Amino acid sequence: MTISTFFRHLREGAKSVFRNGWMSVASITSIIVSLLILGVFILLVLNVNSFVDEADSQVQIKAYLNSNVTEAVRNQLSNEIGSMAEVSRVTLIPKAQGLKDFREKLGEQGKDLLEGYDETTNPIPDTFQVEVVEPTTIPFVANKIQALNDKYDGDPIYKVNYGQGTVEKLFKITRLIRNIGFAFVAGLGLMAMFLISNTIRVTILARRREIGIMKLVGATNRFIRWPFFVEGALIGLIGSLITVAILYISYNQLVQSVKADITLAFRLVPVSEIGLEIGGLLVGLGLLIGIWGSTMSIRKFLKV
């Protein structure tokens, strides 16, 4: 294909978008509506996953030490736990700090319960607070920490707690939520592809006579196909760009509104973190659907 022929195809494809008027508008509108539904659901899934990830990350392991543990053993335990590949951070909470935190947590109701306790009578032990890289490894890491007792006399760690039973259920629920979200996004994506391609197919059906005439006067399949290829790509591009603009403006306003409302306990994922990825995905999908719809629709009319 020569450069002049290539630019001729681009001009003809662009002219066809405007020449077909309402048919092009119908195709672009179909793309906007379909991608808008898909984009809204993708944003919903991303925010739900963000909330789920935050809930997962708040799950921590607490290793309670026996009262007779020496400082040397305590430091060695801290180093061994911190060196585990699955662990991201280990924080020692001294018993005095633990008692203070417990009092603050109980508030006014706990004053009478904790009255009389001081550093010598403090029932709360020194505690290692352990954070992991991947929340789903928490049960495994907890068992590794508990197994450290085998290396020491007197079992310096008397208990490891991470909310056994509840944590496993939490991880199952969050995994189910993610899988359902991805399944819905995939289903909506396929639905959008078929809906938009069928609309583009109707546009090309209305021009089947034009295609037949071009074939009869000797035009090759490639020569006929390229303008339709360009037309489908432009329709997909225009529709997807309008969709991205609508989603960007609307979602950004929603994020700012939620951010300004201090009574809400959750925050939406900022546009700066997901805008580029979602925009690129929708534009790419719009182009793909436009090209695919026009290519598949014109194929049957080239057999004249």
| pLDDT for residue 14 | 64
C-alpha closest to that of 145 among 170, 135, 132, 94: 132
Task: Tell me, yes or no, if the pTM score tops 0.85.
Answer: no
Residues of the chain with CATH 3.30.70.3040: 60-162
- Tokens matching residue 55: 């809930």
| pLDDT, tens digit, 9 for 90 and up, residues 172-205 | 777 787 777 777 767 766 776 676 666 666 666 6
9 CB neighbour count, 10 Å cutoff = 19
Chain mean position to CA 191: 20
Cβ-Cβ contacts under 8 Å for 168 (sequence gap 6 or more): 139
Across the chain, mean pLDDT equals 75
194 CB neighbour count, 10 Å cutoff = 12
| pLDDT, tens digit, 9 for 90 and up, residues 211-254 | 666 666 666 666 667 777 777 788 888 888 998 999 899 888 88
* 60-162 to CATH, choices 3.30.1490.20, 3.50.30.30, 3.30.70.3040, 3.40.50.980: 3.30.70.3040
- Tokens matching residue 98: 């633990």
| pLDDT, tens digit, 9 for 90 and up, residues 81-120 | 888 888 888 888 887 777 676 666 666 655 555 565 555 6
Alpha helices in the chain (DSSP H): 3-19, 22-57, 71-82, 95-106, 111-114, 138-147, 166-205, 208-216, 221-260, 271-299
